[in-house]
Structure 1
């Protein structure tokens, strides 16, 4: 018998390390050539590692969530014959493109067996009588157990003062003297004491790193403004009623996207990214709008490119296509990066106010809150109007409070008078 040592492959694009996000095998498993053994994640894609040989897994060199350096040993396989010392390059297949994130800086991992999430039992308190859970077997001598049985006492209800939590004759006597009776605890109301440690890996880890980076490096200012969307909602309903079969249903987002395009033409300083290491702000004439999208794998930000060149219907169609692609994992790598400003919306769950975190290295994000029908005084009477808050955050190093307010007020004016959205020039 021989041995193959498979090393972390070089996935290209200058990547020096990757995160192990999935094992498909364990020690002792038989494998065949081209069988997928593991999956690793870079800051741009998930890559599957296939087996180049038939054999049996002997050893795994990392835990899920570990950062593994290129060419570090990943696993060993027993093979027929003399085998090879190592396989340094296994042709990987990139799958499940991900939103671009800052790389995680860490040291190469040491080889070790795979560990699974563990359930930890909390320690019992000391220095006072031990009270057991209903399912816990009490500690007592045979004589104490016999006395309890004859008295009809459930020892699980008796507090223990003896060594190591043992019930003594005195404990039983005091229990009986108090006239205490066993208390029936419904199974559904039993105390639960276990905890579970869950390692943050894969896309969730990338999201955490991105949020940490944005929160730590960007001084946020959040500006909230009420917007009357009654007229916009009427227009949207009319346009949806008359849409063609090949046209998507309009939500409020395509209108907001068009309002953003017009506003950013007047305030280009908000349509920008900031390289704080180099101290350079890059302003863009193109408007590439990121749409924060919740997917089964976590938060992704597909990008509607060149929103300045898209109509309402085209914006809606591209928004639908990209959101679906992000949710089912078919979005291309370039469709998940390169935004110049981001919109985030929780739809009907949008709350009244949010404090969105900027999608680093952008300098602004616009948050959409839920629409509520509220009474509004028109000067003579209260009338029902549809009101929605915009919660927008800005990088206060680049965008002053005054400019942020002007920006939001301009969007408000366009949305409250939606005909202005369609007027060119």
Structure 2
């Protein structure tokens, strides 16, 4: 038997490291060649890492949220034959527990980890100056004498952190009656809260409110961290100016309904987005400075002939901005098809890197959940973004009487370093004119 090490592969041009966002395996699992073992996140997208061999997992090279350099050790497997690597040179308490688990079984591993945790939390003065190797050895000895872990702690002193013990004492709860769901039956604040919610605590009067002292710690990783970094960059470097304008969508909505009815089943269903995309194409024809990207470090604005429209798409993992390339060269139905296909790929996690890059201007929409107005944040390094708000019927004065009209506000933000307020207003009014008179969208310039 030998050790086979899989290193983080090159996941994209110019990328030096990636964030570990998910393990698909754990120590002790048997994997086959081509099985996915982990997922990492680059600046652009999530990438799955497959195993190049079959074997048993003996070591994992990090925790979710860690940054791992390209070429760094990601995972080790025990394989038939010599493998391609030597056993890890040094052992941390975690790797030591892994070695024990592979020889003594899963119960031994759990007990060892719990023993090390208890020593570290409850008697730090005794372990402070003891070398790591000695602590691991002592832990092994202690673990070998422990009874097997069970779902419910039965020892005289259930496993729990000091803060959990203090809370239980305050609530008058005997921890021996609480079901612990952590390693070796370790009791967490969440377990304590569940016990209280299920009526295990002292009875309270009918209608009384029960204190909820739980704190849920959610690590910002993966797509959410990328979104946070992107938004921070955009907001810190771009001075935004936002213009909100109301649009009478009555005529466009009638046209959209008629086209969908006429081509039902033979062409993609039209939403508002393809019409707005066509309006943007027409508007930037006269104002190319808005279909641009600003390299603020070099002090250069790049104006593009291609209108590559980013569409902000909500997924289970957060917000993706998919890019419809060359919207200026496609009709309504083709753009509708592209938007739908990209959204499906983003939500399924199969989106390609090239479909997330190269945008020159972005549309963001909350659909029916939208408000009267929003203040969209520009997708750096672009210089403009068009926000779509919800549509609703409102009474509008036509000069003689009030008429029910389908009204929708658009909120457009601009990079005020390179776009003046006047030019921004001209762009917004151009969109208003085109959307309120949709026949103009089909008139050749």
Q: How does 1:363-402 map to 2 (within 5 A)?
A: 363-402=383-422
Corresponding residue SS for 2:301: strand
Distance 2:10 2:395 in 1: 62
TM-score by length of 1: 0.75
Does residue 322 (structure 1) correspond to residue 342 (structure 2)? The answer is yes
- C-alpha deviation, 1:55, in angstroms: 3.8
2:7 maps to: 7
Which of 211, 236, 241 matches 2:231?
211
2:361 maps to: 341
- Residue by residue, what CA displacement relative to the aligned partner does 1:72-114 show, whole Å, maximum 9, x if unpaired? 2223333455543269xxxxxxxxxxxxxxxxxxxxxx99679
- C-alpha deviation, 1:185, in angstroms: 4.7
Structure 1 residue runs without a partner (length 5+): 88-109, 139-155, 158-181
The 1:365/1:121 distance shift into structure 2, 3 A limit, reads farther
Aligned-CA RMSD value: 3.3
Corresponding residue SS for 2:410: strand
Distance 1:5 1:285 in 2: 48
Whether contact under 8 Å (1:290, 1:304) holds in the other structure is: yes
Whether contact under 8 Å (2:6, 2:73) holds in the other structure is: yes
2:50 maps to: 50
Distance 1:213 1:297 in 2: 20
- C-alpha deviation, 1:330, in angstroms: 3.2
The 1:243/1:202 distance shift into structure 2, 3 A limit, reads same
Moved more, 38-47 or 334-343: 38-47
Q: How does 1:24-423 map to 2 (within 5 A)?
A: 24-80=24-80, 82-85=82-85, 132-133=170-171, 136-137=173-174, 183-185=204-206, 189-423=209-443
Moved more, 354-363 or 209-218: 209-218
- C-alpha deviation, 1:195, in angstroms: 1.5
Structure with greater helix share of residues? 2
- C-alpha deviation, 1:197, in angstroms: 1.2
- Residue by residue, what CA displacement relative to the aligned partner does 1:360-399 show, whole Å, maximum 9, x if unpaired? 1110000000111111222332221221110011111111
Q: How many residues align?
A: 356
The 1:314/1:59 distance shift into structure 2, 3 A limit, reads closer
- C-alpha deviation, 1:228, in angstroms: 1.2
Distance 1:236 1:6 in 2: 53
Distance 1:269 1:277 in 2: 18
Corresponding residue SS for 1:10: coil
Structure 2 residue runs without a partner (length 5+): 99-112, 114-159, 176-200
TM-score by length of 2: 0.72
Moved more, 300-309 or 274-283: 300-309
Distance 1:122 1:347 in 2: 48
Distance 1:368 1:299 in 2: 16
- C-alpha deviation, 1:424, in angstroms: 1.4
- Residue by residue, what CA displacement relative to the aligned partner does 1:190-220 show, whole Å, maximum 9, x if unpaired? 3322122121222222222211211111111
Distance 1:397 1:390 in 2: 22
- C-alpha deviation, 1:137, in angstroms: 4.6
Distance 2:248 2:93 in 1: 60
Distance 1:219 1:384 in 2: 38
Distance 2:93 2:361 in 1: 42
